[in-house]
Amino acid sequence: MTWTLLLAMHVVLALALAAAWHRRVERQRQQDVLDEREAHSGRSVEAAPLQTPVIDLSRCLGCGTCVRSCPEDGVLQLVHGQASVVNAAACVGHGNCVAECPVGAVTLTQGDLSARRDVPVLEESLQAVGAPGLFLAGEITARALIRTATQQGAQVVRSLGATKRAGAGELDLVIVGAGPGGLSAALAAREAGLEFVLLDQETVVGGTVAKYPRRKLVLTEPIELPLHGRMPQREYEKEELVQLWQELAERHALPFRGGVRLERVERCEHGGFVVHTDAGEFAARNVVLAVGRRGTPRRLGVPGEDLPHVAYGLIDAAAYSGVRVLVVGGGDSAIEAALALAEQDGNDVEIVYRQDDFFRIRSKNKKRLEAARQDGRLRVRFRSTLEAIYRDRVIVRSRSAEGEQVLELPADYVFVLAGGTAPFAMLEQSGVSFDPAMRPASQTPAVPAERGVGLMPALGAGLALSAATATFLLWHLDYYGLPNVERAGDPKHAWLSPDRQWGLAFGFFAVAAILVNLAYLLRRQQWLGVRFGSLATWMTTHVGSGVLAVLLAMLHAAMAPRDTPGGHAFWALFALLATGAIGRWFYAWLPRATNGREIELASVRKQLDGALQLCGNDAFGRRAKGITSELLARRQWRSTFFGRAVALLGLQWDLWRSLRNLRSEGASAGIAPVALDGVIAAVRDAHGAAVAVAHLEDLRAVLGTWRWLHRWLALLMILLLVVHVVLAVMHGAFASGGAR
């Protein structure tokens, strides 16, 4: 008994320590996610996301499948046990989160386009409003996904049908841009038997993709191309994809003309178009513009940027080694290029960026950049602009708290990766409108239809199976009603005993149901590449197979589980079913309140910023924000559940002390009493919201411990089941159908 008690103490303490450590890591992760979300929330209208995932917190179960299924890093994260949009600007419209959510809690909607003049006004057919016959496809439509571009290109051409030329010398179609959208349109035109030409300013097909860095992964979802069908791989590197496109262009003899730059598209009186290029004019009934949004690389307008060692894109970083490199820019392209160059032997890499920090890059790139800076592989110079470029050096103007200074930095190569000048002016001249007034009024997205998790079918099936089991037991009550010591003399013992015929078969089927139940984890986590079938169906199967496994285990044990590994496995299985059924729905109820409070806290912080602006004193504003941030962090993240439970009076003392200091400093700074009262009220509201979030998060964590119990019970059940099967084999229970 003493040894058992000692072992139990070790197990309980180990689990408690693991739970406490896991809780601390989770709290830190949530704080980091919320900080990142706040950093991305202040984007300007021009940088606002074009597509935005929307999470319905009243439905979100917190399974995290949408987070794992998103190919883009940092768009979605789990906060307070539910999905949250952290960086909507990084969303490019894969739609995996929508397809994977088992309860329809995720929708993908367009961002606010009411004030944007960088998104063309298109009809649903992708035809430019007010310009019949002029279509857009690909990145210029504000959809950056390769899969979307290929779908758009094929959609536009197929909507035209197999029309023929109206007159001599006129083509059915001119396609401008040989990227994924233009190439798909060209293949669809060849499939439809149209007379067309495919133009691009580059000399090879591939468009912007062909300019990506070497071995960059550019495709993570399967796509279909006209005349080719579904592409065999899910993932392609740049070289593989461009080679495939070039092979398709040659195989189907696409009329491709490279090195041709588009100047404008002009509408003719008879309704057709004349496409003006630097290589001549092309007459056509219809035009598809599958051009990119980047257009021509943005130039800095500084002396020396035309020198031969200045480049506006990086294709192969391995071609540079042992050189001094300066990268200008702060977007993902600039950061990825700098990191690739820093990985080459002997390179000295420095980034020059005009802002205070990198606000537009993905979190994965930011982590890689910080690691490279800590390792000394590259340097970053913020608040700096390039003034001039010479053959072996550059002039940089840098700003700091001490003032401005002009620096001379060595540079063998200069990469200017500051974005591009979009072809919007040329498109407007060609008849494409960007006027928000012509865009249909924004409408609130419709609430998605509840898809459910299959709970009703699963529970209905479980009830039917339970009723069938009860019927079977009543049918054979003359055997199951006997004491264990008397069953051996009953004739039915030969086929209902756990190690005989039907009883043994019940055990086999129970193990099979358990394996099916555990297979749900493969689908949810997408382990071993298991992605087929909807998660809702798998969840239904998970619930149904859990109920079935318990019922079959009951019959296998002949309704009398004994004090053996098999009997213990049965009770662990039963407890597993109970924790899975009860804990899931209690856990799903609470997080809505927590995330709602988090939204309230964000709103209160904005009110605080507004109150501080009325003070008209920047120094006091910075001091007040610092005190408030420290107060909120201490209340929301650094204190513990038990600390908050026993220190309610201390919370008020903490708040009172902070407000007293703020009032004293505000009075000394000459802040008007009315403005100071507004700041004090906003800080008090923010403190109350932070405490409420912390308490709800603690309660969610308490209810969330069912996950630990559920997982450990599952592991215990599997171990006991393995022991039970091994012992059965060793005792020959399976020999001759279980008869002994």
Provide the β-strand partners of residue 136. Answer: 289
Q: Does domain 304-418 have CATH number 3.40.190.10?
A: no
Query: Domain residue spans in the chain?
Result: 2-110, 134-296+424-435, 304-418, 455-587+707-738, 591-704
Provide the β-strand partners of residue 286. Answer: 173
Q: What's the pLDDT at 326?
A: 95
Strand 403-410 to 413-416 pairing: unpaired
pTM (2 d.p.): 0.59
- Region 701-707: mean pLDDT is 64
- What is the helix, strand, coil percentage profile of the chain, to 5? 50, 15, 35
Q: Report how far residue 65's alpha carbon sits from residue 78's, in angstroms, rounded to the nearest whole number.
A: 10
Residue range 136-145, pLDDT digits in tens: 998 888 776 7
Residue range 319-364, pLDDT digits in tens: 899 999 999 999 888 999 999 999 999 999 999 999 888 877 877 7
pLDDT for 20 beyond 90? no
Residue of 260, 116, 118 whose CA lies nearest to 182 = 260
Q: What's the pLDDT at 462?
A: 78
pLDDT for 310 beyond 90? yes
Name the pLDDT band for 637 (thresholds 50, 70, 90).
low
pLDDT for 236 beyond 50? yes
Contact 287, 137 (CB under 8 A): no
The Cβ of residue 399 has, within 10 Å, a number of other Cβ atoms equal to 14
The CATH code for residues 134-296+424-435 is 3.50.50.60
- Region 476-491: mean pLDDT is 89
Mean pLDDT of the chain: 79
pLDDT for 167 beyond 80? no
Phi, psi of 344 (to 5 degrees): -85, 150
Q: Which residues contact 298 (CB under 8 A, 6 or more apart)?
A: 416, 418, 419, 420, 421
Q: Report how far residue 529's alpha carbon sits from residue 543's, in angstroms, rounded to the nearest whole number.
A: 22
pLDDT for 448 beyond 50? no
**Across 324-411, where does the E strand assignment appear?**
324-328, 348-352, 378-381, 384-389, 393-400, 403-410
CA–CA distances in Å: residue 734 to residues 493, 499, 510, 598: 16, 7, 15, 58
Q: Which residues contact 710 (CB under 8 A, 6 or more apart)?
A: 576, 579, 580, 583
- Region 571-582: mean pLDDT is 81
Provide the 3-class DSSP secondary structure of residue 152.
helix
Q: What's the pLDDT at 182?
A: 92
Residue of 123, 152, 124, 127 whose CA lies nearest to 137 = 152
Query: Does 304-418 match 134-296+424-435 at the fold level?
Result: yes
Q: What's the pLDDT at 313?
A: 85
Q: Which residues contact 722 (CB under 8 A, 6 or more apart)?
A: none
Q: Report how far residue 337's alpha carbon sits from residue 344's, in angstroms, rounded to the nearest whole number.
A: 11
The secondary structure of 66-114, three-state, reads HHHHCCCCCCEEEECCEEEECCHHHCCCCCHHHHHCCCCCEEEEECCCC
Contact 665, 657 (CB under 8 A): no
What percentage of residues in the chain have a pLDDT greater than 90? 24
Annotation: CATH topology of 2-110? Alpha-Beta Plaits (3.30.70)
Residue of 403, 392, 431 whose CA lies nearest to 122 = 431
Sign of CA dihedral 157, 159, 164, 170: negative
Burial-class residue 450 by CB neighbours within 10 Å (0-12, 13-18, 19+): exposed
Q: What's the pLDDT at 84?
A: 82
Identify the top-confidence range among 378-392, 435-449, 512-526, 532-546. Answer: 378-392
Residue range 600-636, pLDDT digits in tens: 666 666 777 777 777 777 777 777 777 777 766 665 5
